[in-house]
Structure 1
Amino acid sequence: MKPLHTDHWQYYFAKPVSTGIFKFQADDFQVVEDLGYTPCGEGEHQFVFIEKTNTNTAFVAEQLARFVNLPLRQITYAGRKDKYAVTQQWFGIHAPGKPDFDFSNFELEGVKVLKQMRHNKKLRTGQLKGNHFTITLRQVLHPEAIEERLQEIEKHGVPNYYGEQRFGVMRLNDMGEVQRGGNLVMAERMVNGETIKHRNKRSMALSALRSWLFNEMLSARLEKDMFDKVTHGDALVLSGSNSFFINEGSDGSEQQQDAQRRFNAKDVCPSAPLWGKGALVTQADTLALEQSVAEQNSEVIDFLSQCGFEQERRAIKIWPSQLEWQSKGDTFTISFALPSGCFATSVLRECVETLSPINRV
């Protein structure tokens, strides 16, 4: 099987001319989770709001389980947050019949319990409204170009690519070249027949592979000038929902024009497949494009079709909300909110080439 690369995916606008150092220190990337609701204050689930620095979500869950002396399966979270960052997120502890846990003696480097509340429902993966990001770039060149691009992003949105962290840590080789992410390399090995016994690693590799194929589909739409327009046969995802319907109107038809108006108003959005077993739901022009990309990656789709996934759809575009920025000297700060499952690095990708710090603090 050919190596799975990530450096060829199309840009929406053009490759940025600006550069800046990203994640020189942990608080250069701040994430605050928004569940979209407030825990009700009663019930057998104890929700704990935690701030973590340079620590991964799964490790915190393991330490919480150890501290409260419960099985790890009773500790849940809505989503994983970046390790090299300062992030705030909720953890759920299912502890029926138990009093409120006292976290005053919970000691874990880089981790603070900010508050705890009870709730009557389990905290499930993916059940959150979104995240708010505050990003600081350092030693920025051409900050004015970042501002111009952000103004365009505010109006037109960005491709909803899966971000680089989905594919694993990117490392530099002895020549200073960025190497492919570990999750993607592991996925290649699985497609080539290797068995990955570690459940968590296997899950991350499968997720990386499925995400890589989605990005391939999205990049193909950009390349074919099918990104900003509703195409005959598109599966149109309703805003804020996983539901979709098929645009059966041909180009220029009243149905197609109505769908385009709804897309421009951010009410619906064309989608690309998250691959699984079963047939593609798209039709006509969109189906032809997706089948073409699938045929070019036959080993990947054959493997994913056997992994228990169902065919799903994901919107191809996102519009950051609450978008603000400030430039001061060679430091540039950007803040915005995104729906759950969307990546801040995909917004950054369109406005600045981020450089890795030589020494992370």
Structure 2
Amino acid sequence: MELDKILEMRYYGLSGDGIGGYIRRMFEDFIVYEISIDGTLATPNCREIPQGAGEYTWVVVEKRGVDSVTAVRKIRKFLGLQGTDIDIAGLKDTTAVTFQFASIKGEVPAEAIEKFNSLNTRVKIHCPVRRPFHLRPGLLFGNRFTIRVRDCNTSRLHELLDELRRLGGVPNYFGYQRFGSIRPVTHVVGKRIIEGRFKEAVEELLLRIFPHESQRAKNAREYLASTGDFRGTLEIFPKTMKSERAIIAYLAERPRDYVGALRHVSGYIRKLFVGAYQAYLFNKVLSKRIERGLSWVYASPGDYVGVAPGSAGSGHMPVLMANDTNLDKVNKLIHDGRAFLLLPIFGYNTHLSQGEEGEIEKEVLREENIDVRSFYVKSLPEASSAGSYRPSNLSPLDLDVKVDSEGVVFSFALKKGMYATTLLREIVKPSHPVEQGF
């Protein structure tokens, strides 16, 4: 699909046709439960949440059809919190029912939670417990999903599932929602930021029009492009697009201060732009690897490999480089689930792989006309990124599949940073990802 090419998701791991169908026909078709590092599931059933003590109140946030940033903003405003007083470990799908942990500094009275829940239908707070520390991404293991695919053809379902088990997983692409399936532009904005082309970054975000966005948004973008009237655009720009509106409002006062305009959105959003470009580059490296016939599951000489915590007698994740001497042993660890192949998320501290994988990484950087040092942004240092590594294989945990009269229900868990839609893309093989709920 054209969207797959734009986002460098150029290959499938599973062969042949998919089952087709639609996800997210209703919010309850896509349910997400966050899993903490100790295995606790974020559910509204408070008996499953262990009690504790400390200066932080942890809660389970339930949301329906609301993005995580908006949900947190609602809670913060209602409770009168400062921005640093509430933390979450990650963003959850918007078009879904999701349950995730949040930590709040101090005590949250039960009557305040009860009142908040009575006033809000799409965001709820459950299960307050005390903890001595705040929530951060390192305390998240992953997510459990229950997803229904409707109006599908199940004739090849078991064949696809058998192939998934035989291969040991599928390419761990960053999924559509990392970039925005309706407006897949965040990675382009991120690239312009690391290139120091801040005016073009803002123009990409505000002016570029995509076919599936609302007519109101299209009209507002066309008006701004033709007139340059930021004040007038603010009157007609959709109120749901808060980051764009913040930039427009700033430029209405300071028309040529594009760095200041980007600073007018939250630091989280600034990092999101650069992170989307890093995700695009990861997908591009992974696609080139598959194109050259290299495995996305097993290592070749020169590849980095992460050893699963505990398998080396420690709680941290040792990283080693595969070579001709240790290759068989390393791939045996991968086969046994005790290690996993890693590809880079480029940043200014990235050490490139060696061997053929290293050549792929250099080729991608050349094609993009950047190097790893580009990810230190002098004019916007808060958007800089040191880089990291990411598993190249997505293997679902505890996969359960049930067929009923309304379609297929998939239940499974994924480690943090992995996308359920990446797995479902392999099974559904969507011909129109946006229309089919991806």
TM-score range, shorter chain: 0.7 to 0.9
TM-score (norm 1): 0.87
Counterpart of 2:11, as a letter, is: Q
Q: 1:92 to 1:279 in 2, by over 3 A?
A: closer
SS at structure 2 position matched to 1:102? helix
Instruction: Note if 1:59 corresponds to 2:83.
Output: no
Please give the residue correspondences for 1:173-188 in structure 2 after superposition, counting only pairs within 5 Å.
180-188=183-191
Q: 1:71 to 1:101 in 2, by over 3 A?
A: farther
Equivalent of 2:299 in 230, 233, 243: 230
In structure 1, the residue matched to 2:270 is 202
* Structure 2 unaligned residues grouped into runs of 5+: 39-48, 200-257, 310-315, 378-382
Q: 1:88 to 1:161 in 2, by over 3 A?
A: same
SS at structure 2 position matched to 1:140? coil
Distance in 1 (alpha carbons) for counterparts of 2:141 and 2:133: 16
Q: 1:101 to 1:289 in 2, by over 3 A?
A: farther
In structure 1, the residue matched to 2:122 is 110
Distance in 2 (alpha carbons) for counterparts of 1:300 and 1:54: 39
* Structure 1 unaligned residues grouped into runs of 5+: 172-179
Contact 1:51 1:88 in 2 (8 A): yes
In structure 1, the residue matched to 2:356 is 285
Which has the larger share of helix? 2
In structure 2, the residue matched to 1:245 is 320
Q: 1:121 to 1:279 in 2, by over 3 A?
A: closer
In structure 2, the residue matched to 1:174 is none
Counterpart of 2:270, as a letter, is: R
Instruction: Note if 1:193 corresponds to 2:204.
Output: no
Deviation for aligned residue 1:39? 5.1
Please give the residue correspondences for 1:1-361 in structure 2 after superposition, counting only pairs within 5 Å.
5-6=6-7, 8-14=9-15, 16-37=17-38, 40-95=51-106, 102-106=112-116, 107-141=119-153, 143-155=154-166, 156-168=168-180, 170-171=181-182, 180-190=183-193, 191=195, 192-194=197-199, 195=258, 196-197=262-263, 198-199=265-266, 200-227=268-295, 228-240=297-309, 242-247=317-322, 249-250=323-324, 253=325, 255-299=326-370, 303-306=374-377, 307-329=383-405, 331-354=407-430, 355=432
Moved more, 293-302 or 280-289: 293-302
Q: Say which structure, 1 or 2, has more relative contact order (CA 8 Å, 6+ apart).
A: 1
Counterpart of 2:124, as a letter, is: K
TM-score (norm 2): 0.72
Contact 2:349 2:372 in 1 (8 A): no
Q: Deviation per CA, 1:232-270: give whole Å up to 9, x if none.
A: 1111012256531111x22xx4x2111111111121111
Moved more, 234-243 or 209-218: 234-243
Contact 1:31 1:133 in 2 (8 A): yes
Q: 1:356 to 1:275 in 2, by over 3 A?
A: closer
Distance in 1 (alpha carbons) for counterparts of 2:357 and 2:64: 43
RMSD over aligned Cα atoms:
2.5
SS at structure 2 position matched to 1:332? strand
Distance in 2 (alpha carbons) for counterparts of 1:269 and 1:344: 19
Moved more, 236-245 or 323-332: 236-245
Counterpart of 1:52, as a letter, is: K
Q: Which has the larger radius of gyration?
A: 2
Deviation for aligned residue 1:100? 5.9
Contact 2:344 2:350 in 1 (8 A): no
